[in-house]
Amino acid sequence: MRIILLGAPGVGKGTAAAMLAQKYKAPHIATGDIFKDEIRKGTELGKKIRETVEKGNLVSDELTNAVMKERLSKPDAKDGFLLDGYPRTIAQAEEIERFAKPGLVLNFVADRKTIIARLSGRRVCAKCGAIYHVANNPPKKEGVCDKCGEKLIKRKDDDEKVISNRLDVYEEQTKPLISHYKKKKMLAEINSSYGMEKIGMIIRQCDDAIKKA
């Protein structure tokens, strides 16, 4: 099954994707990971991506399409894939139709309050990088890292205002894509407002959508 995953930051898409990948034996392919990997390896492509990102620009449709076409031609993606972060624009959505026609789009949605609560409750250890959550994964002693005893901090990115702004940007960017796939009757909405302890409820909705597609 060729599946596209859509969903705002903090919606729980990554956790669901990992489970679906295992269940359906399909690779979870995240464009951001591929880009980071190329930059880390210092390839020609990586250099181009780094230059673009450092200027604060988005990687062009042309470059993104070329990278994804190459990735999706690998043997592990032959029988299907879960795509994360691609396509991101209509031009990309039209291009993938030509080389790896997708069959289903799972759109993970949760109300804003839930997302903000999830992301703003995150705390990180400034020393060892361990991640906690005030509600879902609290440290044994409030504000102190279990692993190294250092003080936990709230990252600037996890500030409510910053999160809210990120969500606005995401929605604005994704709107055309949502209506594109709605028109094609490829879109299935997955309610991800459940806590991650009820991830089974989210996976069940995905299973139903996959069966129907």
Segment contacting Zn ion by CB under 5 A, of 84-92, 103-111, 148-156, 186-194 = 148-156
Q: Does 125 bind Zn ion (CB under 5 A)?
A: yes
Query: Shortest distance, CB of residue 136 to Zn ion, whole angstroms?
Result: 18
CA dist 39 and 41 (Å) reads 5
Q: Does the annotation mark 112 as catalytic?
A: no
CA-nearest of 158, 118, 124, 117 to 144 is 124
Backbone phi and psi for residue 185, each to the nearest 5 degrees, phi listed first: 55, 40
Q: Does the annotation mark 183 as catalytic?
A: no
Q: Which of 150, 159, 207, 208 binds Zn ion (CB under 5 A)?
A: 150
- Between 39 and 144, CB nearer to Zn ion: 144
Q: Does the annotation mark 155 as catalytic?
A: yes
Q: Does the annotation mark 123 as catalytic?
A: no
Segment contacting Zn ion by CB under 5 A, of 85-93, 137-145, 155-163, 202-210 = 137-145
- Between 42 and 149, CB nearer to Zn ion: 149
List the structure tokens of 156.
């600037």
Q: Does 130 bind Zn ion (CB under 5 A)?
A: yes
- Between 58 and 126, CB nearer to Zn ion: 126
CA-nearest of 168, 204, 208, 209 to 187 is 209
Place of tokens 């504000």: 143
Q: Does the annotation mark 13 as catalytic?
A: yes
Complete DSSP assignment for 143-196: TB-TTT-PBEE--GGGSHHHHHHHHHHHHHHHHHHHHHHHHTT-EEEEE--S-G
Segment contacting Zn ion by CB under 5 A, of 10-18, 72-80, 117-125, 135-143 = 117-125
Q: Does 153 bind Zn ion (CB under 5 A)?
A: no
Environment class of 4 (CB within 10 Å of its CB; exposed 0-12, middle 13-18, buried 19+): buried
Out of 2, 71, 118, 122, the active site residue is 122
Measured in whole angstroms, how far is the alpha carbon of residue 95 from the centre of its chain?
A: 20
Site for Zn ion, rule CB under 5 A: 125, 127-128, 130, 145, 147-148, 150
Active site residues: 13, 88, 122, 155, 166
